[in-house]
Structure 1
Amino acid sequence: MRTLFLLLALLPSIAGATMAADVAGMDTSQEARYRTLIHELRCLVCQNQNIADSDAPLANDLRHQVRRQILAGESNQEIMDYLTQRYGDFVLYNPPFKMITLLLWLGPAVLVLLALVMAYLFTRRTRKPSTATALDEEKLRKLLDENK
């Protein structure tokens, strides 16, 4: 049990050591670019994390690829273009607005609009109260009198 607590206590420092190894040999502007880029790229394995926060092997490979390209002198746009060419627009957290990503951009708005329409229709739907006519009331009285 003590070992588990020790491992949990050391986990943040291990993650920090990994990041320090990634930025080794970079100047401050390159390090800033690196940190910005790895937060803008989606992990293709986890899909809900960026590659900075993901522990997946593919995310690690992508971080190394970004580092290598920064050290090679490529611009941020060249790096993003390379990764989108290789992995598609899904690797970007903010994909461009294209026909292929139309559902991705408009899907949430369509779902909200559909939910509002359904809520409106549900709340506006009213049941007609049954109105008893004089004839119905007379039949009801006869039935009640017969049962006495």
Structure 2
Amino acid sequence: MRLILAFFLMLIATPLAAQTALPPAPWADRQLDDPAQERKAKALMETIRCLTCQSQSIADSNASMAGDMRSQIRERIMAGEQPEAIRTWLIARYGDWVSYEPTAAPILWPLWGAPLLLLGLGLLLLRSRIKRKART
């Protein structure tokens, strides 16, 4: 009986052991002293997707990964780096998917052109149907 109780206690205690011992990122939830720099950081954070939540920006997410990314952005802004350079660094590190802003890379042109092509085909079909009905 004691062995079974010890086993269940170990199962319950396992999630507690999985908690991280790392301290939170220093600038994750602290605003910058300079309001202009904080506005730049906040604007950039709203355009970067949380890698954990996937449907929220890092500005809105409470995930630890989003906190780390917010901290990195604020630290880089304090160091004088421009938001677009930080975005480029984040995209290079995490991939195009991390940014909410669509890219216009040549490999993606078919994705941008397909809706226009389908709309054009639909209009041609509609036009031919209207002409056919007008003849009868």
Superposition CA RMSD, Å: 3.2
Distance 1:67 1:56 in 2: 17
**Following TM superposition, by how much is the alpha carbon of 1:106 offset from its aligned partner in structure 2, in angstroms?**
4.9
Superposed, 1:92-107 pairs within 5 Å as 92-102=99-109, 105-106=112-113
**Following TM superposition, by how much is the alpha carbon of 1:110 offset from its aligned partner in structure 2, in angstroms?**
6.8
Q: Which runs of 5+ in 2 are unaligned?
A: 1-26, 127-136
Distance 1:61 1:20 in 2: 6
**Which segments of structure 1 move beyond 6 Å, counting only runs of 4 or more?**
none
Which of 89, 96, 100 aligns to 2:96? It is: 89
Instruction: Decide whether aligned partners of structure 1 residues 75 and 102 sit closer, same or farther in structure 2, where only a CA change above 3 A counts.
Output: same
Which of 48, 52, 55 aligns to 1:41? It is: 48
Does residue 59 in structure 1 map to residue 66 in structure 2? yes
Q: Which runs of 5+ in 1 are unaligned?
A: 1-18, 121-148
The number of residue pairs the alignment matches comes to: 105
Distance 1:21 1:36 in 2: 15
Instruction: Decide whether aligned partners of structure 1 residues 31 and 57 sit closer, same or farther in structure 2, where only a CA change above 3 A counts.
Output: same
Greater RCO (Cα-Cα under 8 Å, separation 6 or more): 2
**Following TM superposition, by how much is the alpha carbon of 1:104 offset from its aligned partner in structure 2, in angstroms?**
5.4
Deviates more, 1:65-74 or 1:97-106: 97-106
**Following TM superposition, by how much is the alpha carbon of 1:109 offset from its aligned partner in structure 2, in angstroms?**
5.8
**Following TM superposition, by how much is the alpha carbon of 1:65 offset from its aligned partner in structure 2, in angstroms?**
0.8
**Secondary structure, counterpart of 2:101 in structure 1:** coil
Larger CA Rg, structure 1 vs 2: 1
Amino acid at match of 2:79: A
1:86-127 deviations in whole A, cap 9, x for unaligned? Answer: 11111111122113434654566678x4xx68xx7xxxxxxx
